[in-house]
Chain A
């Protein structure tokens, strides 16, 4: 008999025990491990997806910020450039104005200097001319400058034309005030007497004379009476000298 029924029963029990043991020790732990791993992989994939989405969003945010920053920087740069241009223009104008003012000041100073020089020159020339004339006259004719001046003055009085003579005579009659004889220097008494005599002789009357000395009358002598005036002065010579010197200076 090939079938031993006791063995059949024992094998059935053996098999059922084996089924239970393998379920307990093989299938369940293995399947649990596989499920856990699958869940973990799924979770990691989901996590990776979430992270990717987050990273994408972050990148977009960053790009937007970057763009905004670029725009802002360009605006600021343009503003700064404009401000620098305006400032440059302002500084240039200021410098130009300062240079203009300085130039004007210098021109004014030069002009004043030239004027002072002119004045100094003319007064110096005057003194020199008098000194030369005095010395020349003394050397050559033994006469003083004052004498010669008075002589010239008297000569002019005598050779005065009729119309001037009439005007002077009229003035002397109308006015009771003394006529003024002004000279650049104090006249000695002898000369005063000569002038008095010449005036008396010329107008045929007793003329009261007041002698004045003033440096403003440039190197000469003059008679004024009621707006009428007669005299001689070195002024004319000095004028022509000054003109020639000025021509010389401007030409150099």
Chain B
């Protein structure tokens, strides 16, 4: 019984090893980049546009709108990071309909890597927005007594991000694997459909939480935008 695609190792040389997680991540990256490259290569700036361009425009403007609803004002600064988080996690779970594929997000290594990126991105954007002093001061809000608790919360929420995504993705793949051995035909298909749904929900949750954390780090001193709960 293997819990992670990390355990499937294609090639190994000392510390360096090429496991299924990395390979499938590369495959996803290739598909995403080549796909967007093909579409954006002949981009139309007129009123008429191709269906693929339309799809990508809906995707990008949809992500933009979600980020804006969280309360981040300068959406385009965070679009690259948050949008890529969502697209990577969503495409990783969407690809589970391909037989033989193992989602890289089903590996705790990947989810940890993403959570670490969020952990670093939050102070990065916070400092870029408010300056170093302003950002560090936010750890002592409302009093300096809260400093340890704020640090603990920072670490624990990163851990939670990683484990939540891993657990969901891993369990989905696991349930399908187990069910395939028990009831080979109909039931695994239903569970795959359910897995697709939970994958999308997880992608949404992951990127929205990252957005909320960044918003919390950047918006502390700024007036809240109107009509954004």
A residues apposed to B, CB below 8 Å: 2-12, 14-23, 25-27, 29-34, 36-37, 40-41
Contact yes or no, A37 B76, CB < 8 A: no
Residues of B78-113 at the interface with A, using a CB-CB cut-off of 8 Å, are 79-81, 83-84, 87-88, 104, 107-110, 112-113
Interface of chain B, main secondary structure: helix
Contact yes or no, A16 B6, CB < 8 A: no
Closest to A18 in B: B29
Supply 15 further A-B pairs (C-beta < 8 A) apart from A7-B21, A30-B57.
Answer: A2-B4, A6-B16, A7-B107, A8-B112, A11-B113, A12-B113, A14-B22, A14-B26, A15-B84, A21-B32, A22-B32, A25-B40, A27-B60, A34-B57, A34-B61
Say yes or no: is B46 at the interface (Cβ < 8 Å to chain A). Answer: yes
Contact yes or no, B56 A26, CB < 8 A: yes
CA A178 to CA B56, docked complex, whole Å:
159
CA A23 to CA B26, docked complex, whole Å:
17
Closest to A23 in B: B80
Between A and B, 14 residue pairs with Cβ closer than 8 Å are A2-B109, A2-B166, A5-B109, A7-B6, A10-B22, A12-B117, A18-B33, A18-B88, A21-B29, A21-B33, A22-B32, A22-B33, A22-B83, A37-B47
CA A12 to CA B22, docked complex, whole Å:
11
Looking at the assembled complex, report how far the CB atom of A49 sits from the nearest CB atom of chain B, in whole angstroms: 18
CA A172 to CA B150, docked complex, whole Å:
186
CA A232 to CA B11, docked complex, whole Å:
185
Residues of B46-91 at the interface with A, using a CB-CB cut-off of 8 Å, are 46-47, 49, 53, 56-57, 60-61, 76, 79-81, 83-84, 87-88
Looking at the assembled complex, report how far the CB atom of B170 sits from the nearest CB atom of chain A, in whole angstroms: 9
Number of interface residues of B (CB under 8 A): 47
CA A60 to CA B6, docked complex, whole Å:
78
B80 partner, pick from A6, A10, A27, A29, beta carbons under 8 A: A27
Say yes or no: is B157 at the interface (Cβ < 8 Å to chain A). Answer: no
Contact yes or no, A15 B88, CB < 8 A: yes
Contacts of A19 in B (CB 8 A): 80-81, 84
A33 partner, pick from B37, B43, B79, B166, beta carbons under 8 A: B43
Contact yes or no, A25 B37, CB < 8 A: yes
Say yes or no: is B36 at the interface (Cβ < 8 Å to chain A). Answer: yes
Say yes or no: is B114 at the interface (Cβ < 8 Å to chain A). Answer: yes
Looking at the assembled complex, report how far the CB atom of B54 sits from the nearest CB atom of chain A, in whole angstroms: 10
Contacts of A33 in B (CB 8 A): 43-45, 49, 53, 57
CA A6 to CA B21, docked complex, whole Å:
11
Closest to A15 in B: B117
Contact yes or no, A4 B19, CB < 8 A: yes
Contact yes or no, A11 B25, CB < 8 A: yes
CA A126 to CA B29, docked complex, whole Å:
155
B15 partner, pick from A6, A21, A25, A41, beta carbons under 8 A: A6
Given A21-B33, A37-B47, the answer on whether A8 and B60 have CB atoms closer than 8 Å is no
CA A7 to CA B61, docked complex, whole Å:
32
Closest A-B pairs by Cβ, 6 of them: A11-B113, A7-B109, A26-B36, A29-B40, A23-B80, A36-B45
Say yes or no: is B116 at the interface (Cβ < 8 Å to chain A). Answer: yes
Looking at the assembled complex, report how far the CB atom of B62 sits from the nearest CB atom of chain A, in whole angstroms: 12
Closest to B88 in A: A18
Contacts of B116 in A (CB 8 A): 8, 12
CA A25 to CA B38, docked complex, whole Å:
9
Looking at the assembled complex, report how far the CB atom of B44 sits from the nearest CB atom of chain A, in whole angstroms: 7
Say yes or no: is B201 at the interface (Cβ < 8 Å to chain A). Answer: no
Say yes or no: is B3 at the interface (Cβ < 8 Å to chain A). Answer: yes
Contacts of A30 in B (CB 8 A): 40, 43, 53, 56-57, 60
Looking at the assembled complex, report how far the CB atom of A5 sits from the nearest CB atom of chain B, in whole angstroms: 8
Closest to B107 in A: A7
CA A31 to CA B57, docked complex, whole Å:
8
Contacts of A25 in B (CB 8 A): 33, 36-37, 40
CA A29 to CA B44, docked complex, whole Å:
10
Closest to A2 in B: B108
CA A68 to CA B57, docked complex, whole Å:
56
Say yes or no: is B17 at the interface (Cβ < 8 Å to chain A). Answer: yes
Closest to A11 in B: B113
CA A33 to CA B43, docked complex, whole Å:
7
CA A3 to CA B166, docked complex, whole Å:
11
Contacts of B15 in A (CB 8 A): 6
